[in-house]
Each structure stands twice: as structure tokens, then as C-alpha cells.
Amino acid sequence: MGSANGRKSIFITGAASGMGRETARLFHGKGWFVGAYDQNAEDLKTLEGELGADNCLIRKLDVTDKKDFEKAVAEFGAATGGKMDILYNNAGIGAGGFFDEMPFEDSLKVVHVNFIGVLNGIHSGIGLLKATPGSLCFTTSSSSATYGMPGIAVYSATKHAVKGLTEALSIEFRRYGVRAADVLPGLIDTPILPEGVAANAPKEGMFRAIPPMDVAKVVWEAYGSDKLHWYVPPELSELDKAAGNMPELVREQIATTGPIAKAIQDAQAALEKAKG
């Protein structure tokens, strides 16, 4: 098990692949000590080999298990001298389909990982964040937190919840000097996407496929900023504004025409193809 030895530290959930793994790589390259957590122990082990055992702490973690989360945070604190510069709540799962046609258990699983998991992470990690000057509580929300998206209704709802929680905590945690912020990624080319979605995505526009390293770079930028919401790509902020100002118009655009509707249709078609 590695030790921070005075280095800044980041605790990352969902670190075995995609945005979490790229964030681990980026911060390691910046000289940080990395705590990497995921359900996928095999891919965590390859990440450890890449970063070097002295530079990281890897551990299998189910973010829905509060007691295990608390234990993971305690182990991390023991390796960092009781510090945590960034808590990155990134773990998430997706499940697509019409709400009434999805097994209800699948919907609950999305809620437990994407929202309860975030609550577990922040509640477990706030002690170390409070003990670390300039610390940041950072969470992965989603472009689907701009407007509720058909075909991923429950996933979208959890990401709205994450966004609202972040806004509230960004105020509450000021009394500790802890910042809170989130990232709202669009179509990120990671394993969470059904097969074929990224390949069929538009080549330009807000729903083009984005490499996960672009999100990792935002986590780095966010550490030195007081910005609340980070959009990847930045054009997604316009959708968020439109959804707030003209929700009925955005509803019709999503339902009938335009690049948003096409992106959703492509995703649903790819999902049906993946189901066989």
C-alpha cells in the first residue's frame, strides 16, 4: 500500500475505467497520490501497475455499502496523514429503456449507485475534506441533468439530484472552507455507453463523442477554481439555460426534431441492438 508522503491526494470512485481512470492517470502525472476505487478489481490492479504501487491506493469498493465506504476512507486517511484534497464521486451505472418497461429493480440499482453512492461518499469523506485546506468535493453529474431525458429517465433523475445536492453543499460547506462542484458530461466515449452509440454520434455539436480525458482535465481545472458547474463540452451550458427558461420548447425539440432527438434515437437504437 502506497503513502502520500506529503503529496496532495485525490479519492476517485469508478476509477477502473473511463473518466475515473483517466483522472487517476492525469493526477498521477501531476505528482498527486491517487486513491482508486471500483467494483472491477482486475482493472484496478492494472491501473496500480501503471501508476506504481507507491503512488496509489487501490481497493474494491461498492459505493452503495456505507460501512465499507467509511472503511475505505479511513484507510485512505491513514495513507495521507488525514488529508483529502479532492473527493471525486464518479462511480455510476446506466440502464436504458422506457421507464414502464424496465424492471423496477434495475431502476432502483441506478438510484442506489448514482445517488445513494454519492451520498455515502460525501458523508464518509467530509471529515477528511474539512481537515484539508482548499479541498474540493467533486461529483459526476450528466448532461441529462439539464433536462430529463427519455429512455434514461431514472438515470437522468439521479443526475438532477446530484446537481441539486452539489448546489446546496457548495453553500453549506463554505463554513468549513470546502468547495463543492460537479461536471455535466455529454456523450463520453466510455464503457457505460451501449455498443455503437459513440460510433454513431454526430461529429460536431454538443452531443459529439468526447474522450474521457476531457473530463479528467476539467477535474484538474476545478481544483483551482470556484466554478460550480462544468460542462463537457461547454456548449451544453446553453441547453441548461434553455431548459430553465423554456422547458416546454426544449421538451418539443427533444421529442420531435433536432440533434438532441437524433442523439437519443441513435442511443435507443444502439441499446435495442445490444439487447439482441
Active-site residue set:
141, 155, 159
SS3 string, the chain, reads CCCCCCCCEEEEECCCCHHHHHHHHHHHHCCCEEEEEECCHHHHHHHHHHHCHHHEEEEECCCCCHHHHHHHHHHHHHHHCCCCCEEEECCCCCCCCCHHHCCHHHHHHHHHHHHHHHHHHHHHHHHHHHCCCCCEEEEECCHHHCCCCCCCHHHHHHHHHHHHHHHHHHHHHHHHCCEEEEEEECEECCCCCCCCHHHHCCCCCCCCEECCHHHHHHHHHHHCCCCCEEEECCCHHHHHHHHHHCHHHHHHHHHHCHHHHHHHHHHHHHHHHHHC
